[in-house]
Structure 1
Amino acid sequence: MMKKQTYKWTAGVLLSLSVFTAACSSGGTETTPANTADGGSAADSKVVKVAYGKWNDTDVWGKWLTGVKSEFEQQNPGVTVELQPIQGAQYATKIPLLMSDAKTAPEVLAEDSFMINADSAAGYLEPLAVDEWSDWGQFNEGIKAAVQGKDDKSYGVPFSTDVRGLYYNKALFEKAGLPVPWEPKNWQDILTAAQALKDTQPDIIPFWMNSGKAGQEATTMQTFEMLLYGTQDTLFEDGKWVTQSPGVMSALQFIDDIYSKGLGPQLSQVMTAQAGQVLETDLMPNQKVGIVLNGSWLPATWASTGSKPWPEALDVYDFVKMPTETGQAPGYTSMSGGWTLAVGANSAEKDLGWKFIQMAVNEKHNKTYAMLDSALTPRTDVAADTEYVNQPGTLYAKAADVIEYTHVRPSNSDYPLVSTAIQETVEKVVTGGADPQDAMTQFTQSVQRSVGADKVMTK
């Protein structure tokens, strides 16, 4: 996930960009255009630059896009696709720098759906003629809304979506005398289970959630918003950001309860950019965590093609819906996001970029990606594919049960600024730098400074 984009130029940033650009041109995939299939020279070849996040050594996105690249070049003689992998931890800061310069702007880029509004408003993304594309009717209608800018134009095509919930370790639960299967009905059920895990097994982490600025958007969405949208309140109402409400207080209080009672991980484990990778490849496979608040994509790490193959993963950990605060209707809650492919507005070959996207997310290639990454597909035809649905080691069936309870992040260009303020607020509570009440007050002040007091409200 991505964090706040500042888009400010400094001498140091310019130097970093020039170094990064040089690195892409010398060490990326297929960076030197070859002779074209119809006899043209390398100088005549058009280049489609495709920037994407390389999240781990498995590089599932790279495998998917390499297959698209091969087919696209075969069908478009004289065109070379240049894949530009960017380390995941650096993606949020490097991609806006590339987009803002016509010399480096990629024709195609992976864009987190929550950045669509801000980046389209900044002029970094090209609107796409999705209504003229026959495949657009195969995409989930609710997910389409996530790629619309303030002008109601579409600036990306989703290639994945997700839901969030609770993973719990069945063996650790049984050892703690807790019921299996476990179906928590409210937040108190979660706290009670976490306390029982701590009391019976002091060497494990009872409850894990993303908990600081290093977690970036994962802290905002998978922790704070998962809690907030399980209350009676939301983050954005009537055109204003709700920074003080009973729901905000409840979310911060739950976080405080976890850490003040010693039910969470050590800060040294969770306050790093590598926390998620450590969770997925070490802590969970070694059964060191009782309950994990996280997303439906985790099984991708444990697949045979993942960075930590673990065939027994979903026998060890079950996945259940996150309850609302008191069990109030509708009973459960979730958040959904996902990634898109977009066209850089400052790129040289925008038409070819759009053509590449249509191929990359067609039925064949989206199915390939979804099965490689254990991802939820946004395409209704792929979702009905029996090979996809019945793929072992995935959560497709359970995730489908969660979608009806899900929410999406506010579609507002100020969201990245508010998200950063949320991450800072959560970290203050986790580290004991502020109690929930003071943290909520400071959250309000931070958002007011970022977006203006006239855009903030109290409930």
Structure 2
Amino acid sequence: MRPALAVLAGAVLALAACGTGGGSQDDGVTLTITSNAISGGKNAETADWTAKWVIPKFEAAQKAKGRTVHVRFQPSGVDDEQYKTKIALDLKSRAGADVIDLDGIWVGEFAQAGYIKPLTDVAGASVDSWEGWNQIPQAVQGLGTFDGKRYGLPQGTDGRVLFYNKDLFRKAGLPDPWQPKSWQEIVDAGTALKKAGVQIPIQLDAGTAMGEATTMQGVLPLLAGAGAEIYAGGKWTGASQPLKDVLNLYRQIYTTGLGDPRLQQEAQGRDKSFAEFAQGKIGILAESDYFWRSVVEPKAGVAPMQNRDAVVGYALIPAERPGAGIRGQDFVSMSGGAVRVLNPNSKNPGLAWELLSFMHSAEATTSQLAGAARITSRKDVNDTVLGVDPMLKFVSDKVLPITAYRPPLAVYPQVSVALQEATAAIVSGRSVEEAAAGYQSKVESLVGGAAHVAG
């Protein structure tokens, strides 16, 4: 049992007397769904879709098969950690809903605690023949996978890319479209932008003030580009050569005037970087597709750019050099997202799987979008709904097949902070060797010693 969940073992529980959600009624079978969503509150769209579309559609489909099935939705609208604790308590007590929403980053932690099991262990071999697997790229399936086994179905996801300002590139004599094939080509473009007078040639999130953005937008994609993952084969990556290569790229950017060290130390540095990109002060920005659809979106963005479609370009993140990325890839990315899992204590696991797979069908996935252009886990849906947005289509077609995910383990957030601290050391002027050594020491203390670290 992982430390973050082990503390629950001695907790005094006051659980609702509903038991597992798969109990039977005199007039049929009842299944339950739970998520951290509530109508009129947090994640209201998910709550409304579940109650108004999923439940009546699934009940009608079951009725057409001659079955009487009732589905109940158990809403929540609390802090994510409160929701996580509640679900863990339910599962530990062999209670809870049949179909459960989880953040993908929790999957490994729950699996190691024994709270969830592989889908095939719960619902049988029919899981493997589900049509949807052929529509979800193998890399995206990784969001719900732990130790090589599928524990959940991925919901919507995202991808990291390099955004660039076409006007600034033109000023610097750089090509458009631009697709760097190595880290050196990124540095070269930054150098050209600097010579052209661009205020901040490259914005690569660094330091602890940027928080998880430093890890997800910067360190982890670059680490993947150097051929390593932060956790693999049961060990955490320490002060290895790939990590040192990542820190050296940070050093190149932040000791040569290609990046702004002060921006990385400001409390609102990330928001400020968004505004400065929109103002034409940043040439290259490493970010997720969130930046395109919610930050510089022309009408409702945080830092709206009326000319976004004409001025903002995007490119894949290259490996350190061609073929040097994880899985021998030329380009890499990182993604996040949520999953839905089955309660291993369900009284009707086969029917619960029918409900879960129904919720991830093409029809259901399309309906949840409610006409919006957003990236889903299903390629067939993306092919249909993303035609109006070439950037999101680019992420679906080019990024998702090569992406990777954070390790879903309880200690990961602390390891992430150690990575942020290592980049902060570089930005403040320390050497790669010093920053890497400090990181190695911190990680060993977090994960139980050097035996759990690959260096």
Give the TM-score taking structure 2 as reference length: 0.73
Map of 1:108-119 to 2, 5 A cutoff?
110-119=101-110
Match of 1:51 in 2: 36
Map of 1:193-342 to 2, 5 A cutoff?
193-201=189-197, 204-236=199-231, 238-265=233-260, 267=262, 272=267, 279-280=273-274, 282-301=275-294, 307-308=301-302, 312-327=307-322, 332-342=330-340
In 2: Cα distance, 1:101 partner to 1:335 partner: 34
1:378 match: secondary structure? coil
In 2: Cα distance, 1:112 partner to 1:99 partner: 11
1:171 match: secondary structure? helix
> CA, structure 1 residues 246+419, in 2 after alignment: closer, same or farther (shift >3 Å)?
same
> CA, structure 1 residues 442+288, in 2 after alignment: closer, same or farther (shift >3 Å)?
same
2:250 match: secondary structure? helix
Give the length in aligned residue pairs.
415
The answer (yes or no) to whether the contact 2:261–2:427 under 8 Å persists in 1 is no
1:132 aligns with 2:126: yes
The answer (yes or no) to whether the contact 1:242–1:457 under 8 Å persists in 2 is yes
1:69 aligns with 2:51: yes
> CA, structure 1 residues 422+457, in 2 after alignment: closer, same or farther (shift >3 Å)?
same
User: 1:155 aligned to 151, 155, 166, which one?
Assistant: 151
Instruction: Give the superposition deviation at 1:144.
Output: 2.6
> CA, structure 1 residues 161+79, in 2 after alignment: closer, same or farther (shift >3 Å)?
closer
Instruction: Give the superposition deviation at 1:242.
Output: 3.2
Give the CA RMSD over aligned residues: 4.4
1:160 match: secondary structure? strand
The answer (yes or no) to whether the contact 1:363–1:381 under 8 Å persists in 2 is yes
The answer (yes or no) to whether the contact 1:297–1:375 under 8 Å persists in 2 is no
In 2: Cα distance, 1:68 partner to 1:375 partner: 18
> CA, structure 1 residues 130+288, in 2 after alignment: closer, same or farther (shift >3 Å)?
farther
User: 1:144 aligned to 141, 146, 154, which one?
Assistant: 141
User: 2:76 aligned to 76, 79, 84, which one?
Assistant: 84
The answer (yes or no) to whether the contact 1:208–1:264 under 8 Å persists in 2 is yes
In 2: Cα distance, 1:245 partner to 1:135 partner: 41
2:335 match: secondary structure? coil
Instruction: Extract unaligned runs of 5+ from structure 1.
Output: 22-39
In 2: Cα distance, 1:81 partner to 1:275 partner: 40
1:220 match: secondary structure? helix
Please list the CA deviations of residues 149-179 of structure 1 after superposition, one character each: whole Å capped at 9, or x if unmatched: 34x5532211123332211000112223333
Counterpart amino acid of 1:299?
Answer: W
Match of 1:34 in 2: none
- Stretch of structure 1 that moved more, 413-422 or 284-293: 413-422
2:157 match: secondary structure? coil
Match of 1:121 in 2: 112
In 1: Cα distance, 2:320 partner to 2:256 partner: 19
2:146 match: secondary structure? coil
User: 1:189 aligned to 185, 197, 203, which one?
Assistant: 185
The answer (yes or no) to whether the contact 1:173–1:197 under 8 Å persists in 2 is yes
Please list the CA deviations of residues 69-90 of structure 1 after superposition, one character each: whole Å capped at 9, or x if unmatched: 212343559755354345xxx6
Instruction: Give the superposition deviation at 1:260.
Output: 2.6
Please list the CA deviations of residues 98-148 of structure 1 after superposition, one character each: whole Å capped at 9, or x if unmatched: 323339977655434343112221244465338535444444251334423
Instruction: Extract unaligned runs of 5+ from structure 2.
Output: 16-26, 60-68
In 1: Cα distance, 2:352 partner to 2:213 partner: 29
Match of 1:391 in 2: 388
2:339 match: secondary structure? strand
Sequence identity (%)? 24
Give the TM-score taking structure 1 as reference length: 0.73
1:441 aligns with 2:423: no
- Stretch of structure 1 that moved more, 287-296 or 68-77: 68-77
In 2: Cα distance, 1:428 partner to 1:197 partner: 25
2:173 match: secondary structure? coil
